[in-house]
Structure 1
């Protein structure tokens, strides 16, 4: 595939890093920052440009990886050059209707909500496209995002908000819990390096056990607990302080904010 990235930030770089491991892609990146251009060119062997190409063709894929606040300006500049190319947007918030409007009516558009574990090839990406998109275009978009992890096709565009509050923002929830456990370990006497090693190994092992097990995670949790024991005391404190309730409420608040941002950023 011929793929042009508009923006060379962390997520674009992660996707590029995955794609260059596969044969057959011609990749270029539009990135105004000269230092980033140099790194992208040297590290990944891609063509790095300071500005938009004069034109694209229907064989091209254009991946928008700019900040949502810059998206309208970039789309308006792209519109006369797009030439029917397939457009993939990983910018949060802005819906297909607004993208199409800014792109002079283009309908070959896929929205993607990736997450940061894509940077280590363990990402989860939610994809949505309207009914007008061909199966070949869907396959192309899926192949690109599969280079950095799992791909989930969503039934409707509201699914982007749904997946944002789970896998999109979810790594931050996990990091928050890891951060708390590291602080707890340090308070018990471990130094920072020891605490980090212990906590990360514990998370890694617990996730792998959950992955390989065919029992519910609630049962795995209960298997660690014994009546009147140490783990039961900790879980009782979490329950008393409403930790589970707060996590679920936070995810809901995240989705509400995703919807709000979509309305704010899609305005003309």
Structure 2
């Protein structure tokens, strides 16, 4: 995810000179330097108060890292993408630090088509808020949440959601092959069907039922297929899947916070 953010910023003509990476692994550090032409270092050092720290670590690494750099930070904004780690915990581990924004991007950030949820307990000044939005907009779109507890729902929907889509697409392709199409034919037809349908749906998100009806003619093939999906209660299965991911997110949050 860190690489996606760096790549997104550079694609938006952000100067490599304005980005510094702290990476303790020398091999990973060399890969980052060669790929993005940004400076990197093995250890965190004091930085200017108007710089932004992007906390891009796994949740189990957050506590030890923040404690190790707590004496080196003061007024800087911490933008955390550490999954499940609450603002209260970040502040506690960073010796009472207050200037924190928590975020949850998703894997589509790799192609700058992600969606990132943001939350902060502080009132950000206009300059700082715009800076945060500039960073996350480099990997797609963003929304601000009004309650941190919604992050668990975000994790279950947009965080885990791409995997549900990939799962569906894979099953769709396998179904096409079962009906006699070659893998190349199935991948092309199913992939483009999903892509085109997604674009069409985005224009009419408040009228999806009519979109369904526009394809499902009375007594036609689509109607027959939809009857099968309804008989297997696809809506209920999706609700169970997202609910399970939501509860798991809450559980992980309790473990690490």
Q: TM-score higher than 0.5 here?
A: yes
Deviation string 1:75-101 (CA, Å, 9 cap, x unpaired) is 111111123221111011110001100
Q: Give the secondary structure class of the aligned counterpart of 1:88.
A: strand
Deviation string 1:136-184 (CA, Å, 9 cap, x unpaired) is 3222211110111101011011121222222121111111110110111
Identify the match of residue 142 of structure 2 among 119, 130, 151: 151
In structure 2, distance between residues paired with 1:196 and 1:175? 12
Q: Partner of 2:154 in structure 1?
A: 163
Q: Give the secondary structure class of the aligned counterpart of 1:39.
A: helix
Q: CA deviation at 1:232?
A: 1.2
Contact 1:94 1:262 in 2 (8 A): yes
Superposition pairs for residues 21-32 of structure 1, below 5 Å? 21=11, 22-24=13-15, 26-32=18-24
In structure 2, distance between residues paired with 1:53 and 1:163? 30
1:75 aligns with 2:60: no
Identify the match of residue 78 of structure 2 among 81, 87, 94: 87
In structure 2, distance between residues paired with 1:34 and 1:187? 48
Unaligned residue ranges in structure 1 (runs of 5+): 1-10
Deviation string 1:172-230 (CA, Å, 9 cap, x unpaired) is 11111101101111212223232211111000111122233476111111111122221
Q: Give the secondary structure class of the aligned counterpart of 2:118.
A: strand
Q: Partner of 2:40 in structure 1?
A: 48
In structure 1, distance between residues paired with 2:14 and 2:45? 26
In structure 2, distance between residues paired with 1:124 and 1:248? 21
In structure 2, distance between residues paired with 1:137 and 1:252? 34
Superposition pairs for residues 117-266 of structure 1, below 5 Å? 117-213=108-204, 216-266=207-257
Q: Partner of 2:105 in structure 1?
A: 114
How large is the RMSD of aligned CA atoms in angstroms? 1.6
Bigger drift between 22-31 and 76-85 goes to 22-31
Contact 1:125 1:151 in 2 (8 A): yes
Deviation string 1:120-148 (CA, Å, 9 cap, x unpaired) is 01010000001344333222211110111
In structure 2, distance between residues paired with 1:258 and 1:133? 27
Q: Partner of 1:7 in structure 2?
A: none
Contact 2:103 2:116 in 1 (8 A): yes
In structure 1, distance between residues paired with 2:64 and 2:79? 16
In structure 1, distance between residues paired with 2:160 and 2:129? 24
**What is the TM-score when the length of structure 1 is the normalising length?**
0.90
Runs of 4+ in 1 over 4 A off after TM superposition: none
